[in-house]
Structure 1
Amino acid sequence: MITIKIKPSHPSQGDYVVINVSDFEPQKHEPYDQESRDALLEYAAESGHLNPSEPELQAMHDQLLVRQGQLDDRELQLNQRTGLLDAREQTLLEREMANATEAQRLADLAAAQAAQIDPASMTKAQLQAALTAKGVPFSSTADKAELLALLTGA
């Protein structure tokens, strides 16, 4: 008995289903691969079923129209998703640029404040902020004198 592979009608059936070639119904089944298509043609030629009937042709036509509609729907969904992803990417790029601009503004502000204030008169928090703005590492337990030395040495 000759068997062929057909596409499953449900995901639980796996990648393909094996059936007898004589049980193949074009309105219900679709060959899984080229080998199965070739076996169907060979069987049709040997058994005299090479020419499908008008109802079989109509059923195949209807099946193709349904599949074309499904493909059109999937293409539309993919295009919509692509549009959403493009919009999200643009939003993220805009946020990135805004964050970089704000970080630069804050660094410039901290530098300007540090330049205007005598470091000796700054509070411990101001010294820490100035060191952070300059990118100078410091210990969280450092006292004001240690922070002042780091700032004036930096």
Structure 2
Amino acid sequence: MALRNATRDDHAAIRGLLQDSRLPVADLDASAIDFIVAVDADALAGVVGVESFGDVGLLRSLAVRIDQRGLGIGDRLVAAIEARAATQGLRRLVLLTETAAPFFARRGYAAIARDQAPAAVHASAEFRALCPASATCMIKSLESAS
């Protein structure tokens, strides 16, 4: 299983995996999301992205193909996107999740009230419209990782 930067050629497969995982895709074309993909035998096995807002990143679109779950791919993707975010000068990552709060809590993310998220991410489509108000908002500092 190899991790690599997503390319334009990955776009359709990323969209398909996100749709299969019931994650938002409405703003993929308009957003500046930096994706990392996991590839197994030239097939997309997983994806994660980060959308930057100043020194804060919005972690987005973590998805692993159903037949590849439980193999640590999600862990590897999150570690890779955190490392990339830190090297790009992001100090914190914020995310919204309806289903994966325990997964992210085990990786050091803390639940916060949505209105306590850094103001910069409130302008994102994900915060404004794509994720329901019931989604759990979580945050992690990357400063110790840089």
TM-score using structure 2 length: 0.22
* Greater RCO (CA < 8 Å, at least 6 residues apart): 2
Name whichever structure is richer in strand by fraction. 2
Structure label with greater radius of gyration: 1
- Is the helix fraction higher in 1 or 2? 1
